[in-house]
Amino acid sequence: METTTISTSAIPQPGSKFRLAGLQSSKVLVAKSDDRLVDYPQGQIYADQWFYLEPAPTPGTYYIRSSASQKVIYSKRGAIGMYEKSYYEDQYFVFEPGSGQFQGYFRLRNNYSRTVIYDNGQRGVGNFDADGEKYSDQYFSFLEYQS
């Protein structure tokens, strides 16, 4: 299996597998079997690093589903992780494109909780106020699945 970076101006089609790589950390997000969302170096590829999109009930939003556990990412104030897909709006994400120095990357934004996911590589993965200052640890790119 190989991965290549794909354009962030084109969100993967629902069902297409991808990994999410942090701009600052250079690590990928991992959906652990204990429902934690963590990071791991990009070089080694494991099944729990793959995600795919599913349209969520609110137009323009998506579930980010783990292809290994089938659980989806959630983000609420002070907490992130993986949970069974439901109609909780803290599971609905939009991909907010970066500009300026963040051109070509995007933020994983949850409009319900008004949070974005970050991965700074030191403190790991968490969330931050979506309306606060924009930092490089809040930006991600897609790494597409290649068979």
Per-residue pLDDT reduced to its tens digit, 119-139: 998 889 999 999 999 999 999
For the chain, domains (ranges, CATH) are: 16-144 (2.80.10.50)
Q: Which amino acid is at 73?
A: I
- Cα–Cα distance for residue pair 111/29, rounded to 1 Å: 20
How much is the pTM?
0.91
Number of other CB atoms surrounding residue 105 within 10 Å:
21
Tens-digit pLDDT profile for residues 46-68: 999 999 999 999 999 999 999 99
Q: How far is CA 113 from the centre of its chain?
A: 15
Query: Which of 73, 5, 86, 2 shows the shortest CA–CA distance to 35?
Result: 73
Mapping DSSP onto H, E and C, the string for 87-98 reads CCHHHCEEEEEC
